[in-house]
Amino acid sequence: MFVYNTLTRKKEEFRPLNPPNVTMYTCGPTVYDYFHIGNSRTFIMSDIVRRYLEYKGFKVKFAMNLTDIEDRIIKKSIDQQTTAETVSKFFTDAFFEDIEKLKVRRADFYPKATGHVEEMIQMISELEQKGLAYNVDGDVFYNVKKFDGYGKLSGKKIDELEAGARVEVNEQKNSPLDFALWKKAKPGEPSWDSPWGKGRPGWHIECSAMSTKLLGDTIDIHAGGNDLIFPHHENEIAQSEGVHGNQFVKYWIHFGFLNIQNEKMSKSLGNFFTARDVLERHSAEAVRLFFSQTHYGGPLNFSDELLTSAQKGVDKIINLAVRINDEISKAVDGESTIQFDFKKYYDEFEAVMDDDFNTPQAVAVIFDFVRAANRAIDENPSVSKSFLIELKSFLTKTAEGVLGVIHFSDLEKAGESDLDVEYINQMMAEREEAKKNKNYKLADEIRNKLNDLGLIIQDSKTGPTYKRK
């Protein structure tokens, strides 16, 4: 299994520190607003990486932080004439609501910055003792020039960065590249006691302290958006390796931007849609398939048309899943006589996912499987229950378990208990009679009536069936 490592700029064989255990950390949201659909790419692709590692038999310990104290939270609290805690609580609850709608599995840990200030103060103190940090009247900064490896993740050189740096407002810093570890309290802002006086932690130290606390000094995988490579992840390395003296992260995974008309989607540019807005127009499964159809590291253009197209792909998989469930209810027991190479599809799925989580190719394998499975059912008048169960098992493990683009439990919940089955069967019979008599106008009218009831009619060699939209 190979993973592209941002640190080394090449694919490397995945060898966790303590197999089969894997430690994984993804930078989560700053809870000052609803997250946009571009942020959800990070949450969904992290979810798929974690799911596939578990599919392969690894035991993943996964943490995602919640930044619940930060300048934007404070600004919003002032604008709304409320407290920073009220703002962060509201949008933390909204975050969990939205990732649940996106079918993202919960992390093992969601550490909040405000719950780990003590660990952050301890880490800053150690950096200060090692000569890597300095205090200027209650503000503590990291001295970038004192850390030899600064720039190794982003490939940036300190001299070039300094030459291109704009003049900083804060002239207390030794260098414009030095970054805040601790910010001196301003009137009315949330603050904590520290050796340097009242204040609050800088953003970068939060992830270093929380990942160390929950996952250890060195972790297997650290993931996040491409925009975090510099300075956030670069600064995390400087902090963590500066304190502990050993490698902070073995494999760095970064997700590409979601663009609108080839421009990065962001709140600062105002060209964004919140995830909850998008989910009012499209299903979570369509969003997940849309992301899966492009490699996680590349840029991806967003549009409603592309999501509508992704939904058609989801529907192909769902149609097979519904068909399998329907066939199982009337299938006979016994060994299958159908020649179907399940191993081929499992091998192909794993081969592409083992190659740096190549989800576009994994989706292609699943669509090949769907076509072959439908053909096998069409061509065999008697299909055994064991064969159908194997078909369902493949979709459950891959399309559902890894990619999360279908959910059998949702299909089963959308049963027929509230439908007038007798009326529907009568309509279906009348439609068949109309087709037999070549009265296609009447057949289409009946189909439209059933569509209005929220049903999709599927014609096949073995006869018509229906399912909910």
Helix (H) or strand (E) holding 451: helix 440-452
Q: Is the pLDDT of residue 457 over 90?
A: no
CA distance 144 to 136: 15
Domain ranges in the chain? 2-280, 304-413, 421-468
**Which CATH code fits 304-413?**
1.20.120.640
Neighbours of 197 (CB within 10 A): 14
Mean pLDDT, all residues of the chain: 92
| Bridge partner list, 5 | 10
Q: What is the pLDDT at residue 166?
A: 54
Report the top-level CATH class of 2-280: alpha beta
Question: How do residues 310-349 score in pLDDT, each as one tens digit?
Answer: 999 999 999 999 999 888 887 877 777 788 999 999 999 9
pLDDT band at 415 (very low <50, low <70, confident <90, very high): low
Q: What is the pLDDT at residue 147?
A: 97
Report, in this order, helix, strand and coil percent for the chain, each rounded to 5: 50, 15, 35
169 vs 10, more confident: 10
pLDDT band at 417 (very low <50, low <70, confident <90, very high): very low
CA distance 120 to 112: 12
Are 94 and 39 in contact by the 8 Å Cβ rule? The answer is no
Q: Mean pLDDT throughout 175-204?
A: 95
Q: Is the pLDDT of residue 128 over 70?
A: yes
Q: How many degrees, rounded to 5, is the angle at CA 336 between CA 332 and CA 338?
A: 120
Within this chain, domains 2-280 and 304-413 share the same CATH topology: no
Q: What is the pLDDT at residue 419?
A: 59
Task: Please choose, from the candidates 375, 422, 399, 411, the residue with its C-alpha nearest in 3D space to the C-alpha of residue 313.
Answer: 399
Query: Helix 440-452 to helix 421-436 angle, to the nearest 10 degrees?
Result: 160
116 vs 266, more confident: 116
Helix (H) or strand (E) holding 61: strand 59-64
How many helices (H) and strands (E) the chain has is answered by: 16, 15
Helices assigned H by DSSP within 143-253: 158-164, 203-215, 234-244
CA-CA-CA-CA dihedral for 23, 24, 27, 29, to nearest 10: -100
Q: Is the pLDDT of residue 6 over 80?
A: yes
The whole model's pTM is what? 0.87
Contacts of 52 (CB under 8 A, 6+ apart): 353, 357, 402
Q: What is the pLDDT at residue 413?
A: 64
